[in-house]
Amino acid sequence: MPYTLINGKEVSEKVLEQIKQEVVQLKQAGKKTPHLAAVLVGDNPASMAYVNSKIKTCERVGITSSLIKFETDVTEQTLLTKLEELNNNADIDGYIVQLPLPKHISEQKIIESIKPNKDVDGFHPVNVGKLVLNLPTYISATPYGIIQLLEYYKIPTQGKHCVVIGRSNIVGSPMSILMAKNTQYANCTVTLCHSKTENIKQYTLAADIIIAAIGKPNFVTADMVKQGATVIDVGINRIASPDTKSGYKLVGDVAFDEVAQKCAYITPVPGGVGLMTIASLLKNTLLAAKKEIYK
C-alpha cells in the first residue's frame, strides 16, 4: 500500500514561520526580544552541530541567542555557578544545557539547578511533574515535535494502541505520558517497551502507532509492524557507509525501506522528527518570553 511520508522539514518550516511572526509582533508592541542561551561543555561533534543548528535557527526567526562554552574538564561547581547566573539574568528567557555531559558532572544535579521557568528543554522535575499532572508546562522538545507532526497530518490516534520503544527521560517516558492524555492527538492505549521487554514483536505487531526511540540502528523491521501502522522514528544513528563521501550515513531506529511498505504514515531519517525538535525548543522559548506558563 502507498504510504504517506511525514515531512518534518515542511512542518518545522511552518512552525518556525509562525514563531517568526510572533517575534515580530512582540517587537512591534515594544516588548523584549525572546532570548535563548545554550551551555555547551566539551567538543562532542554531535552536540556542537546541534547547538550551532539551534543558534542559526534562532537567527532565522529573530530570537536572540547566546552560546556559553566550557572545556571538557570544567568543574561541576563552575558550571553550577554559571547556571545560577543565568537563572538570575532577567534578559535570558530560557536556556538549555546540552547533554550528554562529561562523566565527572552529575546531569541530574545540573538539570535540577535550572530554574523551572527557564527550563525550555522541559527536563526539570517540576516541569516533568506538571506534565504528568496535566498542568501547563514546557514539554520536552522531541515529544512536543512528534505531537505537532501527528496534528499536522491529522493522524487518527483516539483509542488506538501506541507502542513506545525506549524509556529515556528525554523521549520515551514523556512520549508515553503525552500519548495517553485526554487530548485530540492522543487518547491512546499506551504500551512502553524497552531493552528488557521480552518478545517485543508481540507488542509492536499489535500497535497502530509505533514510536521508536531506542537508539539502535534499524531495530524495527518489517516483520514487527502490522499493515497500515503509523511509524515515528526518533533515532539518529551514525553507521559506516562506503557509499558516502564522509564514510558514514545517518539512519533511524527503523529499517525504513522495508517498514515503509507496510505503513500508512512514516517519518524519514533525516528529515523527520529531528527538525521538529529545534522548532519545538524555540516554541518553548517564545512561551517563556511571553510568560504564558510561568506568569
φ, ψ dihedrals at 151, nearest 5°: -65, -45
CA pair distance 144, 7, nearest whole angstrom:
16
Within 34-135, residue ranges assigned H as helices are 45-61, 76-88, 107-113, 125-132
- Output the pLDDT for position 243: 83
Answer CATH for 141-274 from 3.10.20.90, 3.40.50.300, 3.40.50.720, 3.30.300.30: 3.40.50.720
Residues near 257 by beta carbon (within 8 Å), at least 6 away in sequence: none
Residue 207 has pLDDT above 70, yes or no: yes
The grid cell for 226 is 502490522
Catalytic residues: 54, 98, 121
Give residue 237's pLDDT band: very low, low, confident or very high (50, 70, 90): confident
Query: Locate cell 542559526: which residue?
Result: 56
4-28 residue pLDDT tens: 999 999 999 999 999 999 999 999 9
pLDDT surpassing 80 at residue 1:
no
User: Which residue has 497500515 as its cell numbers?
Assistant: 228
Tell me the pLDDT of the chain averaged across its residues: 96
Prior bond to 45 cis, omega within 30? no
Q: Where are the domains of the chain?
A: 29-115, 141-274
**Cβ(170)–Cβ(122) under 8 Å?**
no
* pTM listed for this prediction: 0.94
Architecture of domain 29-115: 3-Layer(aba) Sandwich (3.40)
Strand, coil or helix: what is 284? helix
Cis peptide upstream of residue 100 (ω within 30 degrees of 0): yes
